[in-house]
Structures are given as structure tokens and as C-alpha cells.
Amino acid sequence: MAITLATVATTPYEGQKPGTSGLRKKVKVFTQKNYTENFVQCILDANGAALTGSTLVVGGDGRFFCREACELIVRICAANGVSRILAGQNGILSTPAVSSLIRRHKALGGIVLTASHNPGGPENDFGIKFNCENGGPAPDAFTNKIYALSGEIKEYKIAEGLAIDVSKVGVNNYEVAGKPFVVEVIDSVTDYVLLMTEIFDFDKLKDFVSGKSRGGQPLKMRIDAMNGVTGSYVQEIF
């Protein structure tokens, strides 16, 4: 199917005011017609001219609607001049992993799909936030700009016919409006674990936990990720 750029007429929704932790609403709110599209378009527009030719990271905590939102965001980014997307496999990336990827790949920022500790599921919460090029949360000046744009939005752009499957790790190359567009679906854990090995001495930690450096008595630990996205990272690190 050919990729076509569409400009879709829309109207503002009240209350799309993100805090430091982004915009959090019920899933039923985010899945209203054009609700997510509006907010994502406003995030992109808030970046101004820097958006064109940029790299963005996209991923979240895996809660209900995460994968669908991730693929939708990729299509909106493609239509707005972004050149490259780094997406977590199945749309999954922890917030620290997004931060790590932004800095390692010198991305413009990252769109994080999470409502933190709020419960997930079709009757519960979803969230979207933007992390800037330093990997940290967007400052008030930026989120205020998003909010102002959300009250004025009249249209959003989307690449219709762009088939993307974030369940498969790999590099996907497209041509959008005559320009290359790359979606790299990455293992959700690998880059973050690499960062941890650069910060901490894993050999010394292994010796400590195994008891090798403390007289042979292994350290017993219980780790409860509480059904959070952290579980995949804990498994790999430990």
C-alpha cells in the first residue's frame, strides 16, 4: 500500500495540559476520536523547526493501548518531517531506558507512554509525556507551549498506509514525501543494560552477590517489579 500524507481536520479538546509527568487520563479519553492525535501533533509542533530531520525515541511501560499508540505516533512523526524513529520492541521502553537512548543516539527527544504507578487496563489510565534532548522531562516552558497549541489545533498530519510492526526487531526503511524515513525497532533492554555496565562494575557486584568477595556467603534478595516494565530489565541485569 502506498504511503500518502494526509492532513486531517480536528477540533481542540479541553484539559490537554501536561504536567512534569505528562498528560494522564483514562484510556477511554485517549481513545476518543483524534484525542491522542491532537496531543501528539502539539508535542511535535512545540519543537518547531528542530523537528525536521530529527531522531525521536518512542516507547512506554507496556500498559493497555501502548503498542497501538506507539504505531500511531510513528505515522504522525513520519508526516511531520521526522527522519528516524527508535521504537522499543512491542512499544516497550522504561522511562530511564528512553532517557538513555535519547542521549546515546543524540535524539531530539522521546515520547514516553506511561501513567507511572497509576493502574493500567481498558478502564484505567494511560499517559503521554515528552522528554527533551538531555533525556529529562520537558520543562514548564515546553509543556505550557504544548498546552497552548492544544487549545488552537485545527489539523494534524499522518502518514496513511505506513505499515509498521513494532513486534519485530529490525530496521525498516521507507520513503515519505520523497525523503527517507527510518523506523528502528530495538530490543527494549539492551541499550539500558549497556549503560548500566558503563556506570557500575558488574564484576565486583557479581562477586559481592555470589559471596566471593565476602567469605563465600551469597546475598539473598527478593525483587518485586510489581508488574511494572522494570521486570524485563531486572531479569537481564540479575
Enumerate the active-site residues: 116
Q: Which residue has the cell 490537554?
A: 16
- Give burial (CB, 10 Å; 0-12/13-18/19+) of 199: exposed
Provide the edge-to-edge strand list for the sheet that holds 170-176.
Answer: 23-26, 125-131, 109-113, 55-60, 84-92, 179-186, 170-176
Beta bridge partners of 114: none
Q: Are 13 and 150 in contact (CB under 8 A)?
A: yes
Q: Are 120 and 92 in contact (CB under 8 A)?
A: no
Q: Are 142 and 130 in contact (CB under 8 A)?
A: yes
SS3 for 227? Answer: coil
* C-alpha of 72 from chain center: 12
